[in-house]
Amino acid sequence: MALNADVARGRGKVWLRRCASGLAALALSTAIPVSAGETSDEAVLWPTRLRADMARVAQVEWRLRDAASGLCPGVAADIGVVFDDRRAYRKADWPVLASTLGLADRPVVAALVPGGPAERAGLVVGDEIEAVGGFSVDAIAERRKAGPLVAEALLEEIATTSPERLIEITVRRQGTNLAVTILPKRHCAARLVLEVDRSIDAHSDARNVSISAGLVTLAQNDDELAMVAGHELAHIIHRDRRGGGISKRRRMEDAADSLGIGLIHCAGYNAAAGSVLLDRLRKRDWLGFLRAPTHRSFSKRVERLQAEIPGLTCPATPKPVVENQKGSPSAQSD
């Protein structure tokens, strides 16, 4: 799980799609405060809420990356941890981050995947990170030209180590330095990026899935959150790219729905419960604002998914849309 807060936005990620699992961006009525300029109660609450979202997304990410191992374009070492660092936020927000989360000048362990390698090895939420793999935080940030994205750089440092080879993380806990040795797991390299954003939005580029905090709030359970993330992860696995006509795009979206629901099933989520999100969106979507033109209606998508659920098997099977010899798109049959 990675965080894309306000400062991080400046990095200029170019997302290839804004299919948003069929959603156009729409402001939520339940606003998510993201700046110190909000009212005092909200200003105190938003860091806590953000941390809860980060932990939630991290768990979904772990399970989906596990289910997608062997399907994704790349692999990465994963230890099931989320780091947070105040440099990813505006300086104006630093005081409230310190008072609500105790986030000071060092990156910290913000969340751990329950039962994941980092938790089993003894890392604890709140641990301050001193070094990863024998390199200090500052050395890693400089080598990776991290700028404000120090937490990201630490995750990348772990991701690019050899999976199934021990990695040592030095943390500071209650004034004492501890070395924790962790055995990573080999996972799909694609990550979920939590966008600090009030809109209802999900999209993906060739490498990562982006989910807005607004969408995390809208998802009533992790089955629904996994449904959205699984669809986007399927686009990455299929190596879908922008372009082509509506017909081809719709085939891509159908294929992403099919693989996505297979991934969430294999990740241990309830596929039927996940598809309820689409049904709830259908009920909200009385003017069609939420639906991208490349996607079928929500009711049609739910109907297709419900029909596929009884036949789901693991591992999930990719079915990318390819051009046939006549230039019209067709789904791969094998």
Interface with Zn ion by CB under 5 A: which range of 15-23, 63-71, 87-95, 278-286? 15-23
- Verify binding: residue 141, Zn ion, rule CB under 5 A: no
Closer to Zn ion at the Cβ: 109 or 321?
Answer: 321
Residue closest to Zn ion, measured at CB: 19
- Verify binding: residue 113, Zn ion, rule CB under 5 A: no
Query: CA-to-CA distance for 265 and 279, rounded, in angstroms?
Result: 18
Stretch 201-240: interaction string toward Zn ion, x if CB under 5 A: ----------------------------------------
**Interface residues for Zn ion in 61-80 (CB under 5 A)?**
none
- Verify binding: residue 19, Zn ion, rule CB under 5 A: yes
In three state form, how does the secondary structure of the chain look? Answer: CEEECHHHHCCCCCCCCCCHHHECCCECCCCCCCCCCCCHHHHHHHHHHHHHHHHHHHHHHHHHHHHCCCCCCCEEEECCEEEECHHHCCHHHHHHHHHHHCCCCCCEEEEECCCCHHHHHCCCCCCEEEEECCEEHHHHHHHCCCCCCHHHHHHHHHHCCCCCCCEEEEEEECCEEEEEEECCEEEECCCEEEECCCECCEEECCCCEEEEHHHHHHCCCHHHHHHHHHHHHHHHHCCCCCCCCHHHHHHHHHHHHHHHHHHHHHCCCCHHHHHHHHHHHHHHCCCCCCECCCCCCHHHHHHHHHHHHHHCCCCCCCCCEEECCCCCEEECCC
Interface with Zn ion by CB under 5 A: which range of 17-25, 58-66, 159-167, 193-201? 17-25
Q: How far is the CB of 134 from Zn ion (least distance, A)?
A: 41
Q: How far is the CB of 96 from Zn ion (least distance, A)?
A: 36
Q: How far is the CB of 201 from Zn ion (least distance, A)?
A: 12
Closer to Zn ion at the Cβ: 187 or 231?
Answer: 231
Interface with Zn ion by CB under 5 A: which range of 46-54, 170-178, 248-256, 279-287? 248-256
Interface with Zn ion by CB under 5 A: which range of 5-13, 102-110, 121-129, 252-260? 252-260
Stretch 255-274: interaction string toward Zn ion, x if CB under 5 A: -x------------------
Closer to Zn ion at the Cβ: 47 or 260?
Answer: 260
Closer to Zn ion at the Cβ: 7 or 20?
Answer: 20
Size of the site for Zn ion (CB under 5 A): 3
Binding site for Zn ion (CB under 5 A): 19, 253, 256
